[in-house]
Structure 1
Amino acid sequence: MSRPRIALLALTVAGASVLTGCSSTVSMVPGDDANNPLCAELMVRLPDTLSGEDRRWTDAQSTASWGTPSRILFTCGGDEPGPTTLRCEEVDGVDWVIDESEAPHFRVTTYGRSPAVELYLDTSTDGGTGVSSRTVLDVISPIVRQFIEPGRTCVPRTEATPVPEPVEP
């Protein structure tokens, strides 16, 4: 290899090292079924930018993160939620169970699809603008719908059968 090519290669590697040093890897925990081939199908189709946030590297299989600090966390291969009293919304053919208990941070999980996909969204406006949960679901739902078939769907609350209260003896 010629000296100019070696010098150019060295500069390229050094430049890449400097650039990667600017962003840290996000530490995440993979789902139990993270090695599911359906998760791999989703991962290669996730966008580089989501709700105005740039994608970052993660250290766990079938996970993704957007924003600095992380505003959107994505995990594929988690446990499917069972019947729940949490709100369930359909977005582009995908049912999502919405856990609002930590608002303005929301955990949304696909319902009736295996492997399950979970998103953790920071919609707070502390230090800037929060992510739009609707925008995120509008982008992620078609990807999920294309590769993970539904086995069940949410029942509207108005049609749900109430769970009887336990009777005390």
Structure 2
Amino acid sequence: MRTPRPLTAAVIGGIALGLAGCGTVRVPAGPEAGDPTCAGVVLGAPDELLGLPRAETSSQGTIAWGSGEDTIVLRCGVTPPGPTTDLCTRLEDSSGVQVDWIVREQDDLVFYTTYGRSPAIDVSVPRAVAPDQPSAAALDLGQLVTTNVDATDHCVGAEDVS
């Protein structure tokens, strides 16, 4: 069983640096950000997410909404996670669109990484943006994910394994 690499200090630091500045949000690109699938993700992304306007980013395959510390960041082309003991949950929106996400909390950010899709997509949501339901950002991005990246695997729990 392979476990995913934890978010590196460089990635978290890069996102934090981008959030602290003004103007272009500086975001480190994922290793597969040049995958043509990521171009579809970026082009199809909404102009607004959770009431925040889309902002310019510094790297290919990235999108941001908001400014300052209240910025939601999406990175397409991150390494797909393997089996993990981290929380993996299926989020389904009101139209029935389902996406499996690995959820990690770190400081004042909640990270969502698609599970069973390649290239993988991660989304960082500051708790200040959606303190009661940070998953709302991942839910709102479900259609974007399913339109551009096919699922090849799904979350399973201990009860699903014989």
User: TM-score scaled by structure 2?
Assistant: 0.76
Work out whether residues 112 and 138 of structure 2, in 8 Å CA contact, stay in contact via their aligned partners in 1.
Answer: no
CA distance in 2, matches of 1:158, 1:87: 14
In the alignment, the residues of structure 1 paired with residue 118 and residue 158 of structure 2 have an alpha-carbon distance, to the nearest angstrom, of 23
| Larger of the two Rg values belongs to structure | 1
Question: Which structure 2 residue ranges, 5 or more long, are not aligned?
Answer: 1-21, 92-96
Measure how far apart 1:124 and its partner are.
Answer: 2.8
Give the corresponding residue for 1:110: 114
The alignment covers a number of residue pairs equal to: 135
Identity between Structure 1 and Structure 2 (%): 30
Match of 1:98 in 2: 103
* Alpha-carbon distance in structure 1 between the residues aligned to 2:32 and 2:80: 11
Aligned match of 1:58:
57
After TM superposition, where is structure 1 displaced by more than 3 Å over at least 4 residues in a row? 129-132
The C-alpha deviation readout for 1:75-109, integer Å capped at 9, x for no partner, is: 00010001101111112321000012x15411110
What corresponds to 1:35 in structure 2? 34
Q: Could you list the per-position Cα deviations for residues 141-163 of structure 1 after superposition, in whole angstroms to 9, with x for gaps in the alignment? A: 111111211111110243357xx
Partners of 2:75 and 2:111 in 1: how far apart?
A: 11
Counterpart secondary structure, 2:141: helix
Cα gap change, 1:131 to 1:75, in 2 (>3 Å): farther
Correspondences of 1:6-155 after superposition (within 5 Å): 24-69=23-68, 70-91=70-91, 92-100=97-105, 102-124=106-128, 130=131, 132-155=133-156
1:141 maps to amino acid = G
Counterpart-to-counterpart distance in 2, 1:131 and 1:103: 15
Q: 1:54-80, CA deviations, whole angstroms, 9 ceiling, x for partnerless residues?
A: 111001001011112142110000100
Partner-residue secondary structure (3-state), 1:135: helix
TM-score norm. by structure 1 comes to 0.73
Range with greater deviation from structure 2 (26-35 or 131-140): 131-140
Which SS does the other structure have where 2:135 is aligned?
helix
